[in-house]
A and B are shown apart, each in its own frame.
Chain A
Amino acid sequence: MIRYSIGDRIMIGCIYLLLTLLAFSTFYPFWNALAISFNAGLDTAKGGITFWPREFTLENYSIVFQDSSLLRGFGVSVARTIVGTVLSILATSIFAYGMTKRELIGHKYYMLMGIITMYFGGGLIPTYMLIRNLGLMNSFWVFIIPGLISVWNMIIFRTFFKGLPVGLEESAKIDGSGNWGIYFRIILPLSGPVIATLALFTAIAHWNDWFVPSIYISDENLLPIQTILRQTLLSNISVTQMSGLDSASLARLEQMKNVTSKSLTMATMMVATLPIIAVYPFVQRFFVKGVLIGSLKE
């Protein structure tokens, strides 16, 4: 047993205090937003909601769940997350399996071609022009196709596949399986952990993306919930700025509207956050593993 001196005890006491403060400051904004989302909109306006709603109501959520554009946005987010993740993981892992083959002619050049893209890119404007020329503006596929292949994930998959026992592949070959058969029947079923880790990160990136739709999508039916939420927040802010300029009565009127919607906005925000919070406790072990795979590669 290690014995602590007085100085050590003071230091450790400070550490516990600082960590508690950090955890509280991270937890509180989420909890506060949750409390506001369950509070009656007009009452929220008076301020002072901290840990618990003062006038508890489910009205904000019932408005959110009746708003057809929000529901559609939620649907678009779910669709792009599922389709994007499945296709990207499938395409990237097939690419990675092909790249494990030593006999693959040109594999060194293929690898170089991939790695260069990790360090250099065309930047925002040339990419924007390309997407426009390809006719992907206002198309669901702009969410899926440009990010289908991730060189970074390919390298992680490839490292994992190379670590699998060679014997399995050889015995399958003797049984007459081709490379594609081996990939689907042997490699894919053995890669559960790495697929789970990379799928998780890909899915979260899809769910959280608001920027790509904000520049490529003008059709409101195709906007995911994050982009809709951003527009809602923006309109809230502009109302606040306007109310500062206008005459007193108008300002009060605007403020009433504005804060009514603040509880609503928090409810929308909670709905957009919910899928991540819901899977978060179960996947923690995966993402710790994931970040370590990534850093070991470096």
Chain B
Amino acid sequence: MNNSSRIKALAVPVVSVLAGLILGAVIMVVSGYSPVEGYQAMLRGAFGRTYNIGEVFRSATPLILTGLGFSVASTAGFFNIGLAGQALAGWISAIWLALTFPDLPKIILVPLCIVIGALAGALWAGIAGFFKAQFGTSEVIVTIMLNYTILYISNHLVRYVLTDNKDATPKISENASLRTEFLRNLSGGSRLNMGLFLALIMIVVIWIFMKKTTVGFEMRAVGMNPFASEYAGMSAKKNIVLAMMISGALAGLGGVVEGLGTFENLYILDAAPAIGFDGMAVSLLGGGNPIGILLSAILFGTLKTGGLKMSSVDIPNEIVDVVVASIIFFIGISFAIRYIMDKFSPKKGEV
């Protein structure tokens, strides 16, 4: 990669973010709100106090994990739109385990919950991967359907299995929680938790896995050209299922962090967790690159956390969702713009 293409690669997300924020401002002006006031409130809500900064990183944590999950699947050529459901699968199983064995020592219980959550996510995504590999069924449709299936299963479990007709499970025990006294004090009492370190570790693990291992190489090869990889002796079927399962495991971890860190319980949900689609947005903005994902997760954490403060100046915080959607829209169409730029610009220095 030469310098000018590196700048170009950075220019697209930066321009998209700015364009998204500007569009948000335009909508605020048209609806009779002051965008300056709005964005000021957002900044206060994100960075005003130590507590807010802690919350920014708290909300970025699951997005890093689901974002990584989306990128693994898309490297292998699959569109995992079911991150939300897979995250919920991880969330449920971690909470279930934590509530069943509340007295296990923390050093055993927390890792156990994390592993079970990742497995549940992997399994839920694996269904879609298996059908895709075996029958060619569209993973987009199957994962969407699985999102709704797990949503109703989860609500059923909360209401009739984990509790007696209540809207939320009891809080998990201290032994299962990802929150620590240290992080709480450090971040002014926010819900920032050990999940952040888990997410940072996974960034490194996934980077090494995709770039430095044979399996990772095969996955990238299958994503680029399934026929050529098949011809080279790689099993496309195996890689499809594996990529979906790793993707689902990461999403499951995102759910575990929500369950054991952010909320410390599970409750009746109206829709599958937002970290699913937001993670997809994070990955698209980050260009599927681990550092890009980290940065865009922090950006989205800032928007989401800061956005809550916008209601203090009477601006509905849903404007943040509109901004996020527009950013992805610009990313979506700027791939095309870059393509056109590459096609028509004279190829200097490369010949």
Do A and B belong to a common assembly? no
- Give chain A's interface residues, CB within 8 Å of chain B: none
- Give chain B's interface residues, CB within 8 Å of chain A: none
